[in-house]
A and B are shown apart, each in its own frame.
Chain A
Amino acid sequence: MVNERSSWVPQGVNVELPSAARVYDYLLGGGHNFAADRQLAERFATALPGSRDIARLNRAFLRRAVLFMVERGVDQFLDVGSGIPTVGNVHEIAQAANPEARVVYVDNEPVAVAHSQLILDGNDRAGALQEDLRNPEEILDHAVTRGLLDLDRPVGLLMVGVFHFVPEDWGPRALVDRYRSRLASGSYLALSHFTADSRPVEMAAMVEVMSRSKDPIHPRTRAEIEALFTGFELVEPGVVSTADWRPRAPGDGAAGPERDQIYAGVARLP
């Protein structure tokens, strides 16, 4: 994709504009956010009851997905749309299980990236870079990526809670394809995604709230989300609610309808 804007013109930093990453942090109970983010988050939570649990379940899925991959020998991760380095970062989880694990965080939000870089200061096995997920080649060929990841070996590609920011006209399936084409056999993709399948009314209200932010949300059906895994082989139990994806502990689940708002799945590249 050709960017009209030349790459050396910097993106602006504007805390008046809410960022989805900081809204997510707030819903997770984090304090890494600004007034505008908290306002939006409250409206988000009003429109979509159970938002805090939805965020928690999604975050818990990320942890299980990373551990699942580590257990299958994956020791390098590319976290696209990593957001604010809030509790349970991928490098903490992965490096706790395998101290040699390497992680690259990617986000298009400059504050989130700067924050990640601050946190990662002194960790020579993890790095953060600012890029739009629409530019797989720029991400995969970035100096930070090249310095940390060996693309000839399996990589854990994490796209958790990010593809619902991709509208249809960006070609989400083709986009995943462009990542997939650069990954080695044995790589994994973990992906989670908002859906309106179970609570269309509340989801529509939330979409409306987010439509006026700089990160509008595009929920997809289960079939559409499964299609994003084209070319990969989904592992059991396939694309399911986050709470149903290989739960291990009481914190992984929830009883109310909040458990069905995000679908998640992990797949292996044959």
Chain B
Amino acid sequence: MRRPPTGGPDGQRQPESAVRDRLVRDWSVAMATSVFVPVPHEEIERRIAELVDALVGVLRAEPFVPDAAARTGGDLVRAGFSGQTSLSRTLDLLADSLPDLAGPTSPETDARVHAVLGCLVTGYVQATRELVFEQQEGVKRALLRAKEQAERDLWLSEARFREVFGTSAVGVAVTDLDGGFVEVNRSLKEIVGYTGAELTDRRLADLFHPDDAGALTEIYRRLRDGKSERVREQWRLLRKDGDTVWSYLAVCLLRDAEEEPAYLVTMVEDITDLHLLQRELRKQALHDALTGLPNRQALVPGLERMVAGSDGITVLQLDVDGLGVVNEGLGHGVGDEVLRRVARQLGALFPADRAALVARLGGDQFVVAVDHSAGRPDVAALVGRINEELAEPVYHGEHGVAASVSVGVVQRETRGASAGELLRAADNTLRRVKGQGKRQWGLFDPERDARDRACSALAAGMSGAWENGEIRVDHQPVVSLRADGEVLAVEAVLRWEHPDVGEVSHERCLAMAESVGLGPPIAKWLLREAGEQARAWGELAPAVGVALDVHQATDPDLVGEVRGVLAEFGLAPERLRLGFPTSVLREENDDAWDNLRVLTGLGVRTYAHGFGLGAVDLACVEELPQPVVEFTPELGARVARRPDSALARITVDAVSVLGGLGVTVIAGGVESAEDADWWRSAGADGAWGAHFAARGLPQGVDAR
């Protein structure tokens, strides 16, 4: 490994100091690039310079003691120059440079350099061994310390776990993969009622409730096979004493160090109390508190189940007659007792297990549904039995209270029926039946129902139709029968051009408006329209009239309303003509009479409409502030066509009497020229009806 002596360009040996400095420089770079030493490079060079000088010292020492170089080898390691290539690069450099620093060239010098390098290697290796031992010692102490810490942490965590395990209210069972108990806590033993020793002989599956055992076994199998990691579900367990434990189970799989399934941990939260409470709440939500019968919420699904599972069904909707009277007269306690009694008797007549369903809808209404797949029951007999039972008076104090019910009955083949539809039909039937009095019953009438429903549908659409302008105001002339053809007045009436049904008459419009709560606004609208029309036609046109309905006629605000219309359209009062229903006048309704008198006093033209032939109607004529009556249109055509009938003769007499009293008589509902002739000859002053409407309004009074 000896290379030719280093030298300058002239081959001369360089001065020793130059050789030394270059060795220090090269050796330092070799060390710095062979291993990381965390000091500035000047420091590296300072340390290397010391080593060079020490080696040169050993080489030149007399006597020559090469072992001293071992110390330098050790120093090299201790200075941090112990990288993988540090030693080899050191030897290369030293073998080159040391001969030039060791003294005059001679075999003795070469031998010394060899010896020094050998001892340096020995010292280096020895120091490296010591360093590695020391570092291994250090890392082993670190390892020991880390293990101690881990064990302490583990112990602490184990202690915490024991504490949680032991005191938790949640039952915990650790089982092996076959379900054998490895460990259970106190809560688990309390929840299932077994001692620890008893559990040792059992398996987890022994705690499953029989009804849930199949599903639970499957769940545990999936966990054990690693197909699921954890489960949190509600299941039933079985206590030692046979009671059911409703529990919230959380099960998870524990794996060992090799990640293989090892144990199953089952956590059991006893929610039996919660479950019972839930069941009670559910019962309360689905049962009527007073009678204990299912309520409407429970009835509908029950009825749907019955519909689905039977070929035919009979639904009875019952209404306890006169319950309001009992409540008011005898107190709600007695009323409640009546309801409980009805409930008891219905329950006895229709036991739940006999394909029957009894429910209270609320208030005084009950529903009984009977599966009549096996044959339709005799409804008359059924209702008879119910009322028979209830007719027996029960005494509350001295008051004997008997009850009766009215019943609407629907019998249906269940194909295509729905619970809601059955209940609606029963309810409609009951309403119809109740109109006939107490203790009545009736069967659902599909035709009538269809009619009612059509009417209801029509009425339900009224509000929209009014808004859309389908409903408008039409005008009918009231024509003098004496001075032939003179229009005495014009009457504003409602007309509904229904796109499907066709024209809906004024009377039907009013009735339907009433039924959907539109009566008052539509009547007000009609009055206002009449006012507006009167202004449009001008002062010379006949007065525009409105036949007020009962509500308007008795409305204390009517006068204000009429004045408002007069003011709004700048009308003279006599341009308006208001008819009061004879029905309210003959009942001596004070509000109606006040309205009539005040309005007449204001100058508005007034009359009684819907006049009949009864004595009372005639009696009230004398009170009218303006003696004008309009016969009910029902008579119009009827009497004219059967002039020999009693009705016709009485009518003639009445008109004659009225005429004698100076009362102006208008006939309504006149449909033909013949009708008009009859009334003229009977002595009537004027008439209106289809006959005149067809002739249209006179010039200048055309409808807008």
- Chain A positions near chain B (C-beta within 8 angstroms): 8-13, 15, 22, 28-34, 52-53, 55-56, 59-60, 63, 84, 87-89, 92-93, 110-115, 117-119, 248-251, 253-254
Contacts and interface: CB of A to CB of B under 8 A. Distances in A.
Contacts of B682: none
30 contacts: A8-B160, A9-B157, A10-B153, A10-B157, A11-B150, A12-B150, A28-B36, A29-B84, A31-B131, A31-B139, A32-B135, A32-B136, A32-B138, A53-B33, A59-B38, A60-B36, A87-B38, A89-B38, A114-B142, A115-B142, A115-B145, A115-B146, A118-B142, A248-B41, A249-B41, A249-B44, A250-B28, A250-B41, A251-B44, A253-B33
Given A8-B157, A87-B37, A115-B142, A29 B83 contact: yes
Interface in B57-92: 80, 82-84
Contact of B38 (A34, A63, A112, A117): A63
Given A31-B139, A250-B28, A251-B41, A118 B36 contact: no
A251 B32 contact: yes
B154 interface: yes
Contacts of A118: 138, 141-142, 145
A111 B473 CA distance: 99
Given A31-B131, A119-B138, 16 more contacts: A8-B160, A9-B153, A10-B149, A12-B150, A13-B143, A29-B36, A29-B84, A32-B136, A32-B139, A55-B36, A87-B36, A110-B150, A114-B142, A114-B149, A249-B40, A253-B33
B157 A114 contact: no
A114 to B, nearest CB: 4
Interface in B611-667: none
A97 B32 CA distance: 20
B38 A250 contact: no
Contacts of A32: 135-136, 138-139, 142
Nearest to A33: B139
A88 B43 CA distance: 14
Given A29-B84, A87-B80, A251 B37 contact: yes
Interface of B: 28-29, 32-33, 35-38, 40-41, 44, 80, 82-84, 131-132, 134-136, 138-139, 141-143, 145-147, 149-150, 153-154, 156-157, 160
Given A87-B80, A115-B142, A118-B138, A29 B38 contact: no
A56 B139 contact: no
Given A13-B150, A32-B139, A111-B142, A56 B36 contact: yes
A53 B85 CA distance: 11
Nearest to B29: A250
Contacts of A110: 146, 149-150
Given A10-B153, A32-B139, A250-B28, A114 B33 contact: no
Contact of B83 (A13, A52, A93, A113): A52
A56 B37 CA distance: 9
B139 A113 contact: no
A115 B38 CA distance: 19
Contacts of A63: 38
Nearest to B148: A114
A8 to B, nearest CB: 5
B143 A56 contact: no
B150 A10 contact: yes
A63 B38 CA distance: 7
Nearest to B35: A29
Contacts of A34: 139
A87 B28 CA distance: 18
Contacts of A15: 143
Contacts of A28: 35-36
A111 B143 contact: yes
Contacts of B156: 8
A203 B573 CA distance: 108
B146 A251 contact: no
Closest 4 pairs between A and B when the two form their complex, measured CB to CB: A88-B38, A251-B32, A31-B135, A10-B153
Contacts of B38: 59, 63, 87-89, 92-93
A250 B32 contact: yes
Contact of B146 (A30, A52, A87, A114): A114
A118 B143 CA distance: 11
Contacts of A31: 131-132, 134-136, 139
Nearest to B40: A249
Nearest to B154: A10
A29 B131 CA distance: 11
A241 to B, nearest CB: 15
Contacts of A60: 36
A93 B38 CA distance: 7
A251 B36 contact: yes
Contacts of B82: 29
A29 B135 CA distance: 11
Nearest to B142: A115
A158 to B, nearest CB: 14
Contacts of B149: 10, 110, 114
Nearest to B84: A52
Nearest to A110: B146
A84 B134 CA distance: 15
A29 B84 CA distance: 7
A55 B34 CA distance: 11
Contacts of A93: 38
A112 B154 CA distance: 19
B38 to A, nearest CB: 3
A248 B136 CA distance: 32
Contact of A115 (B139, B147, B157, B160): B139
B84 to A, nearest CB: 6
Contacts of A30: 135
Nearest to B31: A251
Given A10-B153, A12-B150, A31-B136, A114 B143 contact: yes
Nearest to A53: B33
A55 B84 CA distance: 13
B157 A117 contact: no
A33 B138 CA distance: 10
A33 to B, nearest CB: 7
A110 B141 CA distance: 12
A126 to B, nearest CB: 15
Nearest to B156: A8
Contacts of A55: 36
A123 B135 CA distance: 20
A255 B368 CA distance: 100
Nearest to A58: B36
B131 A88 contact: no
Contacts of B36: 28-29, 55-56, 59-60, 87-88, 251
A28 B84 CA distance: 9
Nearest to A111: B146
A34 B140 CA distance: 9
A29 B82 CA distance: 7
Contacts of B40: 248-249
